[in-house]
Structure formats: structure tokens, C-alpha cells
Amino acid sequence: MIIKKLVVGPIQSNCYIVGSEATKKGMIIDPGAESKQILKAVKELELDIKFIVITHVHTDHVGAAKKVKEATGALVCFHPEDTPFLQGDKRWLSGTIFGLAYDDPPAADRWLKGGDSIDVDDLHFVVLHTPGHSLGGICLLGEGVVFTGDTLFNYGIGRYDLEGGDYVKLMNSIHTKLMALPDETIVYPGHGPETTIGAERQGNPFLRSFD
């Protein structure tokens, strides 16, 4: 499996390009900014992008989705419970709430709900609905790795003080969905370096403090 991480935008969000080594089909997870950099990496990897998966519809994770979709023709996929961000307070999409400016993302071509699968030829992933950072936050699990968006970080957890956030829901998501995974599962978060489920289970201070 090909995994290429790009750190994009002023909030330093992680965008992941994932592809099949056998067939060169791929997907992009959280194209937050810098569409030219993302598309350049796709070209260098010689991938045919089929899906754009958005872990949650906050501006720093979707800011380049429109341009990437236009360039690749890929299907945009996210959880339906994040649609209020497309329909309501546009500050969350325009980035003005953070003093930033991004394109609004396109509407979903495909909903991703908990338990759904998304396959990139020989690569198989399952959607975990992990609300708490946002109503429709998801993680993507498969091939020994989990892409956690802003749910779980290396020795950290996502914010829960933004619209749609909820501390209890976030911690329940982490404990019931992510801490149920094998220790060796590699965690690719929405910000910061990768980690493992085992390392977070043993050392993440936010997890120890939750009862």
C-alpha cells in the first residue's frame, strides 16, 4: 500500500494520498489546502484517484477538495451528519472563523456512514463513525492502519469546543471504536505525527483521565 502524507495549509493539516501498488488506483483523505501540491504528489505517484474522503467538514480538512475534485473527477465522500456545515454557518467553510480563506467544498457524491466500506481495488477500508469533534466525524480503518482525522492524535485528542463538538461523545468514540483496535494498528491523525493504538492506550494522558 502507498501512503503519502502531505502537511498543508497554515493550520498544518495532514492530507493523505493512499494507493494500491498493484493497480495504481487511489484516494485522497482530507485535502485541506494547497491543491497544487496535492495534485503534484498524485502525478508523481502515478495514481488514478477514485475517492476524496473527508473525515469531517472543517475548513482545514476540505479547503482544497473543490479543486482536487475538478482535477481528478474523484467522488467526494463524507458523513451526512456534517451537512449542517454545508448548509448553515458558512464561516466554518470559508475559514473566516480562523481568519483564513478557502473554497467551499463540493457536495457529497457518496455518504459514508458507520459500518460502510470503501474499497480501492485490493485495498479495503471500513468507516467508523466517531462523533465528538464534529457530528459527522469519521475514521477510516483498514490494511492495519486507521486514519483518525481530528478524533485522536499522537498523545492528544480532538477539540470538542467547536460547533457540533461534544467531550463525552468524543471520548466514547475513542474508547469504543479506536481503543478496541489491536495495539499494532498504525494511527494516521489529521494533525501531527503518526502513532499506534498501543502507544495511545498506554501513554495518552487524555485517555487515562476519562471515566
pLDDT tens-place values along the chain, 211 residues long: 999 999 999 899 999 999 999 999 999 999 999 999 999 999 999 999 999 999 998 888 999 999 999 999 999 999 999 877 665 555 454 455 555 666 777 889 999 999 999 999 999 999 999 999 999 999 999 999 999 999 999 999 999 988 888 999 999 999 999 999 999 999 999 999 999 999 999 999 999 865 5
Q: Are 59 and 98 in contact (CB under 8 A)?
A: yes
CATH of the domain at 178: 3.60.15.10
User: How far is 100 from 66, CA to CA, in rounded Å?
Assistant: 16
**Can you name the residues that pair with 106 across neighbouring β-strands?**
none
Compute CA distances 50 → 116, 143, 169, 192, whole Å: 17, 18, 31, 26
Residue 77, SS3? strand
Q: Which domain holds residue 183?
A: 2-208
Into how many domains does the chain fold?
Answer: 1
* Per-position b or e across 11-47, b if 16+ CB within 10 A of its CB: bebbbbbbbbeeeebbbbbbbbbbbebbbebbeeeeb
User: How far is 140 from 161, CA to CA, in rounded Å?
Assistant: 23
Sort strands 48-53 and 75-78 into parallel, antiparallel or unpaired: parallel
Q: Quick one: pLDDT at residue 142? A: 98
Q: Are 106 and 78 in contact (CB under 8 A)?
A: no
DSSP state of 107: P
Q: Quick one: pLDDT at residue 145? A: 98
Residue 6, SS3? strand
Q: Quick one: pLDDT at residue 94? A: 45
